[in-house]
Amino acid sequence: MILVRGGGKAELIAYPIGPSLVNWVAMVPVAEPGPLPGDANWNRPASAQEVLRHFDGWDLGWFDLPGLIGNSATILEYPMVDRDPLPSWGEGRVTLLGDAAHPMYPVGANGASQAIVDARVLADELARDFPAGLAGYESTRRKATSAVVAANREMQRTVDERSRRELLRITETYRRDTGAVRS
C-alpha cells in the first residue's frame, strides 16, 4: 500500500485488491469544507486527464503514477462528506445502520468497521428483546459513532498539521496493535 502527500493538497492512496488489480483513491480539495450546494453527485465518471492535472509535476520515480491512473478501467468521482450526528436513527420498528446512520470522512478508515460493529450490537439487542432492543442498539451505537465522526472530522481538519514523524508513530502503533507486522 502507498500513501503519498505532495507539496500541494493532493493525496494519493493505492493498494492491491487482487492478483493484478489495484484500487486507488485521489483526494483533492476543490472547495472549503461546508454544506454541499446541491445534491451529492455520487459516482460520476471522471477521466484520467482530469485526475492527473492535480498531480502535475509529481515524480515518484519508483512508482508510475500516470501509468496507474491512465490505465484504469473505471474512474469515479464523488464528494467527500460527513454529517453531523443525528438526534435519532428511527422510531418504532425502524432504525439505521452503517453510513446511512453515521457517514464519516474516511481518513480514519473505519466507516465499514463501524457498520460491522452496528450489526453485531443490533443482533445482540434484538436477540435480547424485540422490538425494544432497537432503542438499546441506538443509544449504544449513536453515542459511540458520534465520537468517531467527530474524531475523523478532526483528523481531516488537522491533516496538514501532522508531521511525518507523527504519521510514522501512528502507523507503527497501528501495525503493532493489529499484528500487521510479523516478526
Ligand X SMILES: Cc1cc2nc3c(=O)[nH]c(=O)nc-3n(C[C@H](O)[C@H](O)[C@H](O)COP(=O)(O)OP(=O)(O)OC[C@H]3O[C@@H](n4cnc5c(N)ncnc54)[C@H](O)[C@@H]3O)c2cc1C
Q: How many residues bind ligand X (CB under 6 A)?
A: 11
The number of beta carbons lying within 10 Å of the beta carbon of residue 162 is 13
135 near ligand X, rule: CB under 6 A? no
111 near ligand X, rule: CB under 6 A? yes
109 near ligand X, rule: CB under 6 A? yes
In 3D space, the residue among 126, 80, 124, 85 whose CA is nearest the CA of residue 105 turns out to be 80
Q: Write down the least CB distance from residue 23 to ligand X, Å.
A: 9
25 near ligand X, rule: CB under 6 A? yes
Distance CA 108, CA 155 (A): 8
- How far from 136 is each of 95, 121, 126, 141, CA to CA, in Å? 11, 9, 9, 9
- Is the Cβ of residue 31 or residue 57 nearer to ligand X in the bound state? 31
- How far from 116 is each of 7, 133, 135, 160, 166, CA to CA, in Å? 36, 17, 18, 30, 29
15 in catalytic set = yes
When binding is defined by CB under 6 A, the residue of 68, 99, 144, 155 that contacts ligand X is 99
76 near ligand X, rule: CB under 6 A? no
115 near ligand X, rule: CB under 6 A? yes
Q: Write down the least CB distance from residue 61 to ligand X, Å.
A: 25
Q: Grid coordinates in use for 21?
A: 488489480
Residues lying near ligand X in the complex (CB under 6 A): 25, 98-100, 106, 109-113, 115
Give the catalytic positions in this structure.
15
